[in-house]
Chains A and B, each alone.
Chain A
C-alpha cells in the first residue's frame, strides 16, 4: 500500500511541474499588456511604461517563471496586477464560496443519484425504472445555466424566496450564506445527479449479473439482500470515479453558474483575470485548480485501493 501511494505521489509531482510550465507558457503567449489595459485608451505612453516597470513586466521570461515558482513553493502567489493585493488573499476570498458550493452541489447530487440509481437498478425495466431514467436523460440534456435561469425566474422573480444572486458573505451567518448558495447548488447538482444516477444504475446492474451474486442468491439471499450486502460495494468503484471527476468539474467549471448568479467564486476570478490580463492571478488560480484535480485523483486512487484490494496487489 505504501509503495502504491509513493508511486502515485511521484507521478503527482511530475504532473504539477509539467502543468506549471505549460500554464506559464500558454498564458505568456496570449497577446495583451496588463499595463496598457489598466490605463486605457487615453493614457500617456510614458505612464504605461512606468506601470510596466512597477509591475515587473519588463523582466525576462525565465526570471519571471522562476520568481513565480519559487513564490509558489513558499506559498506566495504574488501581487495581483489589477487589484494590487496579494493573489492568495483574492483566492482565499473566492475559495470560501467555490469550495462550499462544490461540496453542496456534490452532496445534493449524491443524495439524489444514489437512491435514484439503486431504485432504478432494483426495479429494472419497471415503470419506475423507465421514469427515473427518462428524467435523468432530461437532466443530462438540460444545460445547467438554462436550468439556473428557470430557477431564478420561479424562485427569485415570481416567488421572491431567494435573491436572484450574489453572496452575503459568511460573516452574515451560516444560513443566509447557505441560502445564497442553494439555487446555484441545485442548478449545478441536477445534471451531475443525472449522470451519477445512470452510472450507479448500470454499474449495479453489471455487478448483479456477476457470478458471486448468483452464488449469494444460491445461498438463499433474495435479490434485495444480495444487492445491499454484496453488489453495492463493488458497484461503487465506477461511481467513485465519476464523483471524483465531478468534484474537479464543479470546482473549476462553476464559472457559468457563477455568472448567472453573480457569485464571486474562483471561476469568475479566472474569467476576470483573463479579460483584464491579470496574468498572475490566472496562472495562480489555474495551477491551484490543477493541484486540486490531481489531489482528488490521488484520493480517488487510494479509495479504489481500499474498495478493491486487487488494485494494490497489482501494483507490486
Chain B
C-alpha cells in the first residue's frame, strides 16, 4: 500500500460522508402554515415580565402568554383585555373593573378578582422587584367586590392609570405560579409556554382553552441570534420567518429587493437622546446645553448611524403620538449660533466625556456627534461601555458629561420629573406640569399639559433630542398580521397568519 493510495482512500471516504450529509438535508425552513419562527437579537434573561426590565421578556410573552387588565393595540391605543369593561368614579379615584368570564390560567385554574388583587398588591408591595414599580404608586387599595369585579382605589386621580395597566409589568399572574414564572410562565394568553432551550429558542404553542378569539398559529418559536451577520444568513436561508427588529440595517436594502421578503419600517417608543449631565459644570449652564443642541445635525446622524431610518425629534416625545409637538426647529442645526452661545457662556477649550453604551445608535451616532461638536470647538473623550458598566458609571454614578441612550418605554416624559435621575433635571415647574397632568382626566386639557411639558424640556435644552428610533424589520412576504409599529416592545402573535 502506498501513501497515495491511503490518502485517496481517505479522501473518498470523506467525500462519501459529505454526500451522506447532503442526503440528510431536510426542509426545516418551510414550516407548515401554522408554525412561525421569529428572530430576536437578545434572549430574555427570564420570562417573568413582572420581575425584570429586559425588553426581550415582553417581546416573547406580552399578549402571547400574559395579559393584563388592559392591553396595547398595534396603534398604541389602550384596549380592554382581561377587564371587559370599567367604570371610573366621578372624582377619578376609583376604578371598578368587570372581568371577562371563563378566563383560565394555563394550569387550568380560574382567573378571577382574587388573582387581580394578588397581582397588583404584589407589584406595589414593599419588597416588590417590579422594574416599573412607579406604575402602581398611586394605588391605595385593591378590593374584591365579587369574583368578577375588582375595585382599585387611587390616592388621587391618575389620567394614565388604564395606560399603566396595559404595560407588560402589570400583567395578571396567579398566586400559585407567580414565583415560577421566570422559568415556567403561566398566564392567561392565547399561547402557552412549551419549552425554552436556553441560549437558542423559546417555544410557545396554542392554548386550546383560550377565552378570547382563537389564534391562527399553532406553534411560535422565538429564536435568538445575536450576531448581525448570522441574523442576515438565517433570514436568507429562511431559517427565520420574521425578524421584527432586524439587527443589520445595512442589509435591509438587499433583503427588500428580494421578492421572498418584505422590509417593514415602523416606529417605536424609543426617543434617542444625547443626554447631558445637567448638574455638572459647565453643562449646568443652559447656554452651553443650547450650544450643544445647535451643534447637532440630526439628519446626518440618522443617515450616518441609522442608514436613514429614524425621525428627527425636538423633545422627548414620540412623533406618531397625536399629542406630539414638533420642536425640532427650536434646536435646528446652526453651528454659528452654537459658537456664539458658547462665547456668551464664556466657555472655551471645552472637553466633555461622551460615554457610549453598546447599541449601534450610540456607538455610531457617538462618533458623528463627536465630529459635529468638534466643529463648534467642543472636544469629546469617547469611552465605549458595556451596559452593566454604563448603568454603574453613567446611570447610577452620574459620572458622565454626555451619553447617548434610547428611552424605549412608552410615554416616559415623566422621567424628567425625577429628582435623582441620571441627567439630573428635576425642575420644579416641570414637576408641577406633570402633577397637573396626573390629576387631569379631561382629554383636551391633558393634551395641553402634555404639550407644555414637551415645550418646557425643549426650552431648557435638558438633553439633545436626536431621533425617534425606527423599527426596521424583515419578514417573509407571506406572513401577515405582525405589528408594524411598536407601541410597546412586543411581538404580539395573536393576529399573525400565513397568507397561503
Residues in chain A within 8 A of chain B (CB atoms): 30-34, 36-47, 50-51, 54, 82-85, 90, 93-94, 111, 115-116, 118-119, 122-123, 149, 152-153, 156-157, 160-169, 175-176, 179, 182, 224, 259-265, 268-269, 272, 274-278
* Chain B residues within an 8 Å CB radius of A122: 3
Q: Of the candidates B45, B386, B407, which one forms a contact with A32 in the assembled complex, judged by CB atoms under 8 Å apart?
A: B386
Q: A182 and B21 in contact (CB under 8 A), knowing A31-B392, A166-B239, A260-B230?
A: yes
* Chain B residues within an 8 Å CB radius of A115: 6-7, 10
Q: Of the candidates A41, A153, A262, which one forms a contact with B234 in the assembled complex, judged by CB atoms under 8 Å apart?
A: A262
Q: In the complex the two chains form, is A31's CB within 8 Å of B393's CB? A: yes
Q: In the complex the two chains form, is B129's CB within 8 Å of A54's CB? A: yes
Q: In the complex the two chains form, is B198's CB within 8 Å of A36's CB? A: no
Tell me the complex Cα distance, A165–B412, Å: 38
Tell me the complex Cα distance, A163–B107, Å: 35
Q: In the complex the two chains form, is B229's CB within 8 Å of A156's CB? A: no
Interface residues of B in 119-151 (CB under 8 A from A): 126-134
Q: A36 and B392 in contact (CB under 8 A), knowing A262-B224, A262-B225, A262-B226?
A: yes
* Chain A residues within an 8 Å CB radius of B392: 31-33, 36
Q: Of the candidates A38, A157, A260, A275, which one forms a contact with B53 in the assembled complex, judged by CB atoms under 8 Å apart?
A: A38
Residues in chain B within 8 A of chain A (CB atoms): 2-4, 6-7, 10, 14, 21-22, 24-26, 28-29, 43, 45-46, 52-54, 126-134, 182-183, 197-201, 223-227, 229-230, 233-234, 236-237, 239, 386-389, 391-393, 395-396, 405, 407, 409, 412, 415, 420, 422
* Chain B residues within an 8 Å CB radius of A175: 24
Q: In the complex the two chains form, is A157's CB within 8 Å of B236's CB? A: yes
* Chain B residues within an 8 Å CB radius of A118: 3
- Selected A-B contacts with CB under 8 Å, 9 pairs: A36-B392, A39-B53, A40-B52, A54-B127, A83-B198, A93-B199, A156-B236, A261-B230, A263-B200
Q: In the complex the two chains form, is A33's CB within 8 Å of B415's CB? A: no
Q: In the complex the two chains form, is A40's CB within 8 Å of B21's CB? A: no
Q: In the complex the two chains form, is B227's CB within 8 Å of A262's CB? A: yes
Q: In the complex the two chains form, is B25's CB within 8 Å of A161's CB? A: yes
* Chain A residues within an 8 Å CB radius of B197: 93, 167, 169, 264
Q: A82 and B45 in contact (CB under 8 A), knowing A164-B234, A259-B227, A260-B230?
A: yes
Q: A123 and B3 in contact (CB under 8 A), knowing A31-B388, A182-B21, A259-B227?
A: yes
Q: In the complex the two chains form, is A163's CB within 8 Å of B28's CB? A: yes
Nearest chain A CB to B245's CB is how many angstroms away?
Answer: 16
Tell me the complex Cα distance, A124–B37, Å: 54
Tell me the complex Cα distance, A308–B129, Å: 61
* Chain A residues within an 8 Å CB radius of B4: 119
Q: In the complex the two chains form, is B233's CB within 8 Å of A94's CB? A: no
Nearest CB in chain B to that of A264: its residue: B199
Q: Of the candidates B130, B237, B393, which one forms a contact with A163 in the assembled complex, judged by CB atoms under 8 Å apart?
A: B237
Q: In the complex the two chains form, is A272's CB within 8 Å of B129's CB? A: no
Q: In the complex the two chains form, is B391's CB within 8 Å of A36's CB? A: yes
Tell me the complex Cα distance, A82–B51, Å: 10
Q: A32-B388, A41-B395, A276-B45 provided; 18 other pairs, C-beta below 8 A?
A: A33-B391, A36-B391, A36-B395, A41-B391, A41-B422, A47-B129, A47-B133, A82-B52, A85-B182, A152-B233, A160-B29, A161-B25, A167-B200, A175-B24, A176-B24, A268-B199, A269-B199, A277-B388
Q: In the complex the two chains form, is B386's CB within 8 Å of A163's CB? A: no
Nearest CB in chain A to that of B223: its residue: A166
Nearest chain B CB to A194's CB is how many angstroms away?
Answer: 16
* Chain A residues within an 8 Å CB radius of B233: 149, 152-153, 156-157, 164-165
Q: Of the candidates B199, B229, B234, which one forms a contact with A149 in the assembled complex, judged by CB atoms under 8 Å apart?
A: B229
Q: In the complex the two chains form, is B234's CB within 8 Å of A165's CB? A: yes
Q: In the complex the two chains form, is B21's CB within 8 Å of A83's CB? A: no
Tell me the complex Cα distance, A162–B389, Å: 38
* Chain B residues within an 8 Å CB radius of A163: 28-29, 234, 237, 239
* Chain B residues within an 8 Å CB radius of A262: 200, 223-227, 230, 234
Q: Of the candidates B25, B52, B227, which one forms a contact with A39 in the assembled complex, judged by CB atoms under 8 Å apart?
A: B52
Q: In the complex the two chains form, is B134's CB within 8 Å of A44's CB? A: yes
Q: In the complex the two chains form, is A46's CB within 8 Å of B133's CB? A: yes
Q: In the complex the two chains form, is B198's CB within 8 Å of A32's CB? A: no
Instruction: List the 6 closest pairs (A to B, CB-CB), nearest first.
Output: A264-B199, A40-B53, A32-B388, A82-B45, A164-B233, A164-B237
Tell me the complex Cα distance, A152–B200, Å: 18
Q: In the complex the two chains form, is A161's CB within 8 Å of B198's CB? A: no
Tell me the complex Cα distance, A277–B54, Å: 13
* Chain A residues within an 8 Å CB radius of B201: 166
Q: A40 and B129 in contact (CB under 8 A), knowing A94-B199, A163-B239, A261-B230?
A: no
Nearest chain A CB to B179's CB is how many angstroms away?
Answer: 10
Nearest CB in chain A to that of B2: its residue: A224
Tell me the complex Cα distance, A157–B52, Å: 37
* Chain B residues within an 8 Å CB radius of A162: 25
Nearest chain A CB to B334's CB is how many angstroms away?
Answer: 31
Tell me the complex Cα distance, A47–B29, Å: 43
Nearest CB in chain A to that of B26: its residue: A176
Nearest chain A CB to B295's CB is how many angstroms away?
Answer: 25
* Chain A residues within an 8 Å CB radius of B422: 41
Nearest CB in chain B to that of A168: its residue: B28
Tell me the complex Cα distance, A272–B230, Å: 17
* Chain B residues within an 8 Å CB radius of A259: 226-227, 230
Q: In the complex the two chains form, is A111's CB within 8 Å of B10's CB? A: yes
Q: In the complex the two chains form, is B131's CB within 8 Å of A43's CB? A: yes
Q: In the complex the two chains form, is A119's CB within 8 Å of B54's CB? A: no
Nearest chain A CB to B305's CB is how many angstroms away?
Answer: 20
Tell me the complex Cα distance, A288–B223, Å: 27
Tell me the complex Cα distance, A5–B198, Å: 39
Tell me the complex Cα distance, A292–B234, Å: 33
* Chain B residues within an 8 Å CB radius of A54: 127, 129
Q: In the complex the two chains form, is A264's CB within 8 Å of B388's CB? A: no
Tell me the complex Cα distance, A269–B223, Å: 16
Q: Of the candidates A38, A41, A111, A182, which one forms a contact with B45 in the assembled complex, judged by CB atoms under 8 Å apart?
A: A38
